[in-house]
């Protein structure tokens, strides 16, 4: 085994804020996870991962952007569930949605079966037009090209339930890959790529940390620790990596962070609180992460 992997899980707008706050706090403590050999991003983590690997954004700059008032960041309202020009209400993904997803998971034989069920839900849902949502993702990213550093972005085929991990060799554009990874079933439209429809990579797993198998040192930053039925959570995936000989640390939100998220992870008004909570929580993990990440 060799190399390092940073795994960034899904978790809505509050997940983006918390991940960035966590990474900024760790960097302040002298632990720079942005030098990972590979970054694996799922949903919210795909946005954070794209910014990290692009080289166009500093962590402190990303953190400051999370603290800005939602209205100071035009174009992101619809991506994250706020209002854009007052045209439609905030999207929601709270306890009710998660409970519904969990119930479907418990009725599913495996992750592929669950993915296909969630795909049917997504394809039947009435959402914003696909082109509109893609434009929002493009404005959120502000970058178009895959980075030189290795980035993997997860998504699930809505028809088959199979997971894939897009990268610069996949033939899919960065914006399209991120849009697919962020396509929460029932909230945002599935993304059409080469005739297939794709939904949120978090449908397979909230973190998809299993994709880091084979790397010697792995840090998983997962805003959602959910599991149920056939769906593995980040802690069980981390434990499996450890049994394979990987040095691994899994970080999930503490009680204060979960409180900061509120009841709707797509609420842009909670993003700043989540970022601050992530930065505060980073101090509790710095020593353990240093032991894992140090060569």
Active-site residue (options: 46, 108, 157, 200):
200
CB-based burial label for 72 (10 Å; 0-12, 13-18, 19+): exposed
113's enclosing H/E stretch is: helix 111-124
Phi/psi-derived region of residue 207, left when phi > 0, alpha when psi is between -120 and 50, beta in every other case? alpha
* CB neighbour list of residue 47: distance below 8 Å, 6 or more residues apart: 16, 41, 137, 140, 141, 178, 182
37 carries an active-site annotation:
no
Cβ pair 58, 263 in contact under 8 A: no
Q: Which of 54, 37, 26 is nearest to 217 (CA)?
A: 37
> How far apart (Å, rounded) are the C-alpha atoms in residues 126 and 65?
31
For the record, the structure tokens of 243 come out as: 């049994």
168 carries an active-site annotation:
no
> How far apart (Å, rounded) are the C-alpha atoms in residues 91 and 233?
25
> How far apart (Å, rounded) are the C-alpha atoms in residues 102 and 97?
9
Please list the active-site residues: 43, 200
């Amino acid at each position: 085994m060799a190399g390092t992997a940073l795994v960034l899980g899904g978790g809505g707008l509050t997940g983006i804020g918390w991940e960035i706050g966590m990474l900024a706090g760790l960097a302040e403590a002298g632990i720079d996870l942005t030098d990972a050999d590979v970054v694996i991003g799922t949903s919210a983590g795909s946005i954070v991962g794209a910014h990290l690997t692009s080289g166009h954004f500093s962590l402190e700059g990303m953190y400051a952007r999370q603290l800005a008032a939602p209205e100071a960041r035009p174009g992101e309202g619809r991506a994250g569930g706020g209002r854009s020009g007052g045209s439609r209400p905030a999207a929601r993904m709270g306890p009710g949605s998660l409970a519904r997803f969990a119930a479907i998971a418990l009725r599913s034989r495996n992750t592929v079966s669950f993915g296909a069920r969630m795909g049917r839900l997504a394809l039947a849902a009435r959402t914003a037009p696909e082109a509109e949502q893609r434009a929002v993702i493009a404005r959120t990213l502000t970058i178009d090209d895959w980075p030189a550093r290795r980035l993997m972005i997860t998504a699930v085929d809505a028809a088959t339930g199979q997971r894939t991990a897009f990268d610069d060799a996949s033939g899919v554009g960065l914006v399209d890959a991120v849009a697919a990874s962020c396509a929460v079933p029932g909230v945002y439209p599935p993304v059409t790529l080469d005739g297939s429809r794709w939904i949120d990579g978090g449908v397979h797993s909230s973190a998809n940390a299993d994709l880091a198998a084979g790397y010697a040192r792995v840090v998983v930053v997962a805003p959602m620790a959910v599991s149920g039925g056939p769906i593995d959570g980040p802690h069980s995936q981390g434990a499996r990596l450890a049994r394979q000989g990987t040095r691994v640390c899994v970080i999930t939100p503490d009680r204060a962070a979960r409180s900061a998220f509120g009841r709707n992870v797509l609420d842009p008004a909670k993003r700043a609180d989540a970022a601050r909570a992530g930065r505060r929580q980073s101090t509790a993990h710095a020593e353990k992460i240093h032991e894992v990440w140090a060569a």
